[in-house]
Amino acid sequence: MAKVKHVLNVKARTAGGTGDARRLRKTGLIPAIVYGKDMEPKCISVDATEWQLLSRNELNLLSLVEDGKETLVLLKEVQHDPIRNRARHLDFQTVRMDQKIKAHVAVRPGHGVPAGASAGGLLEQNLHEIEVESLPQDLPEEIIVDVTGMNLGDMIHVGDIPMPEGVTAVTHADIVVFTEVDENAAAAAEEAAETAAAGEGEEAAEPEVIAEKKTEERAAARDERKKAE
């Protein structure tokens, strides 16, 4: 068993339909499932309060504990209730220590300030997760990237980021993760785009005014003809 930082207590449950899942949630539990190679999917339940506290961390590998027995799993999916902002269902996949796994890992900038900040630069993050492949014990919780050397216009691609030992990036190397943009130039471009859009709106309105004027002229001509008759 790998040294896993996060441990979650679970209980076995009987598979049920939507009604059973709803009843579980009313009692403060979250329905979940564990699946993996050479095993039948197993239905479990998780204490909602315990999960809420644990989910404040970056989660990939977890140790599920049921009646004192631990199972190493990878968090695969969390279904959320958008109204109540809480988890509705959890999916876990069992992993083996001798087999590589693929997972999405959070990527974050380091604490340093980019060099371009002094010239009005603004750091933009285009990608917040990188898919990686590694053995379970090598899987990082997050990847921290040094952005202090970035000047205006500089970009950091997936392929530029040093991966931890034993970890390989699966996400395409050419995808941009960070960009140091010129904040003033970006604001000017946005203003120009808004001005152009406003101009297009005025141009679009002109034909309507002309058409309205022609309609009025035709109506006046009809009135004149009626008077003449």
Quick: pLDDT tens for 56-65. 888 889 999 9
pLDDT of residue 219: 60
Q: What pLDDT, in 10s, does the model give residues 136-182?
A: 999 999 999 999 999 999 999 999 999 999 999 999 999 999 999 99
In the chain, where the domains are located:
7-96, 102-184
Neighbour order of strands in the sheet with 129-134: 142-145, 101-109, 129-134, 168-169
pLDDT of residue 204: 55
Which residues of the chain are modeled with pLDDT < 50? 1-2, 226, 228-229
* Alpha-carbon gap, residue 85 to 97, rounded angstroms: 34
**CATH number for the domain whose boundaries are 7-96:** 2.40.240.10
* Alpha-carbon gap, residue 90 to 33, rounded angstroms: 6
Q: Provide the pairing of β-strand 129-134 with 176-182.
A: unpaired
For CA atoms 113, 115, 119, 122, the dihedral sign is negative
Q: Are residues 75 and 4 in contact, defined by beta-carbon separation less than 8 angstroms?
A: no
Class at the top of the CATH hierarchy for domain 102-184: mainly beta
- The conformation of residue 36, written as its DSSP 8-state character, comes to -
